[in-house]
Amino acid sequence: MSKKNSRKINRDAVEEEKKNASETLDEVAEAVSETAEQAVDESEKVPERAVNDTPDKPEEVNEISEKSEAVTEIPEKSEAVKEAPEKVKSEIDTPDTKEIKKHRALSAVFTAAVLVGIILLNVVVGMVSDRLGAEADLTATGLFTLDAKTEDYLENTLSCDISITVLSPEQTFSEQGTYYKQVSEILQKMAKKSAHISLDFIDLTKNPTFASKYSGVSLSTNNIVVENAQNGRYKVLTQTDYFGLDNEMAAYYYYYYGYIMGSSIEQAALSAMLYVSDENPVKIAFLEGFNESDSTTLKTFLSKNGYEVEAVNLAKTLEIDVSFDFAVIYAPLTDYDESSLKKLDKFLDNGGKYGKNVYYFASTSQPKTPNIDAFLSDWGLKVGFSVIGQSNAEHRIIINGQQTAYAHLQQLVESNYTGDYEGYTMGADLRPVYALERSQNTLEVLMKTYSNAFLFPLDADKDFDFSTAETGVFNDIIMSTKTASDGTASRVCAIGSDQLSGSYFFAYGNANNSDFFLDLFDSVSGKEKGITISPKAVSDIRFEMTESTANVLVIILCAVIPTAVVVLGIVVWVRRRRR
């Protein structure tokens, strides 16, 4: 017999007992009523008899005795009525009823356990999210996501402890706009990726002593200080460093209207880490004093990749300090004098120890520079006084919506100075670079044009006949190396155009110019290869999916989940019915 039927029989027995007790009470009431009526009748007959008379018939005696017994039974039946609740109670305390209580207790314990489990799971998920990050970046440019190269450096290369201090309270900093929020998020993700990085936000006005640790440096709100905790080297990043401001218009709008082109915090922070973690930083002198072209893009790029960059006025200094590893001549519009050329020679000789390098950038804006040409000739190099054009339209580049013969694709020559790059090498206003056969130095071509190129003389008049132009493949960059007996070498590199390292091609999405120039410095200096991260611009948040992905989501949301809920409900209902 099932527990359900057993409980039903017990309940029926209890009800039957209650019914019997009620009937007993009715019987007792009737008996009392009848006895009372008979007593009244007898009392009316008493005067007719003598008080001391005894019953003269045996039947009367028996009748009285029976009524007396009936009255005596009244208490007994009352006791039966009192015993009925006790029987009901005993029925309630049957084993089946105890099982119900036990089931309810277990249900309460299970419910409490589930609630506690949910709370603990929420706490654990929150801790994991804080430590590892569990956010989804839905921006088209991956604004809040670390580049794979950044993650690899933080997880596998960085070995010293780095402290990053943002000179603003975290909430105040992030509330300044989307780009500031992105800077905060990227820095926090970096700290989560490496145990070597600590991140702090401080209010400079409430911590004035913080600035005193960096004597000679002017710190202001929103600056970011990156410091090596072991050697004390540090670098201060300003808003100009960690926001994209690559042209004059962007800078104008930024300083006067708060306009920001993009975010470079990832590149800036990595560069600062490379710089402060390098025990022997490579120093580069950008020579000035002869009306040089604007080298800001290249200076900033090298600085962001861990090089110490400094401007040196060659006309005023007695010599180029031996602490510099490179000297860059960036398309001077005025020819060097003899004194300056001697300073270059002394720097490259380095007391016979060699180990120094000079990179010369030419420009189509330059006049003829016989003194610089003589210096290059001593190293087996010559820069032609003409500009390279490209007659094949397939190799031309469209700039500002227009195609010109003097902006075209270049091809890199495999060497120890170059690597494998994605994208294209682009150039404009290139002058040809020649290798002089009489040189005893080692000469290597690093970049050249594609075929069907031609030369247009810079001093040609408007009636120049292009049919007479020299055509073919022309060299853009050549490296000349002079090696000492102990294997130490000094180098002079002639580069046909300053625009190869200009802002347009460094920022162009499909161009690999920046990677090439980083290798050109890294390979010579022996410095660990830097990391190049492109600036990121704010974009609309979006969630793109293919048709197949959309179909899968529809099936899951409209079929799988509802069906699972229905099945679960049926299972729970059936189990409860069987209990």
Residue-wise pLDDT for 287-311, tens only, equals: 999 999 999 999 988 887 878 999 9
Of the two residues 570 and 392, the one the predictor is more confident about is 392
Closest Cα to residue 266, out of 293, 242, 297, 298? 242
Residue-wise pLDDT for 399-445, tens only, equals: 878 889 999 999 999 999 988 888 899 999 999 999 998 778 999 99
Across the chain, mean pLDDT equals 80
- Residue 235 φ/ψ region, left for φ over 0, alpha for ψ in the -120 to 50 degree band, beta for the rest: beta
Query: At residue 528, does pLDDT exceed 60?
Result: yes
Q: Which of 91-95, 146-150, 224-228, 570-574 has the highest mean pLDDT?
A: 224-228
Q: How large a percentage of the chain has pLDDT more than 90?
A: 42
Which residues, 6+ apart, have CB-to-CB distance to 286 below 8 Å? 292, 295, 299, 309, 310, 311, 312, 328, 330
Residue whose entry in the numeric block shows the structure tokens 């200009």 = 502
Q: How large a percentage of the chain has pLDDT more than 70?
A: 73
Banded model confidence at residue 121, pLDDT cuts 50, 70, 90: confident
How many angstroms separate the Cα of 23 from the Cα of each of 20, 30, 67, 68, 80?
A: 5, 11, 20, 21, 11
Alpha helix locations (H) across 46-94? 58-92
Residue-wise pLDDT for 322-370, tens only, equals: 999 999 999 999 999 999 999 999 999 999 999 999 999 999 999 999 9
Write down the pTM of the prediction: 0.61
Q: What's the rounded Cα separation, in Å, for the pair 90 and 10?
A: 10
Q: What's the rounded Cα separation, in Å, for the pair 178 and 344?
A: 48
Q: What's the rounded Cα separation, in Å, for the pair 260 and 177?
A: 10
∠ CA 100-105-111, nearest 5°, is 125
Give pLDDT, residue 260. 64
∠ CA 11-17-23, nearest 5°, is 140
Phi, psi at 52, each rounded to 5°? -85, 5
DSSP 8-state secondary structure symbol assigned to residue 13? H
Residue whose entry in the numeric block shows the structure tokens 């490259």 = 348
Query: At residue 394, does pLDDT exceed 60?
Result: yes
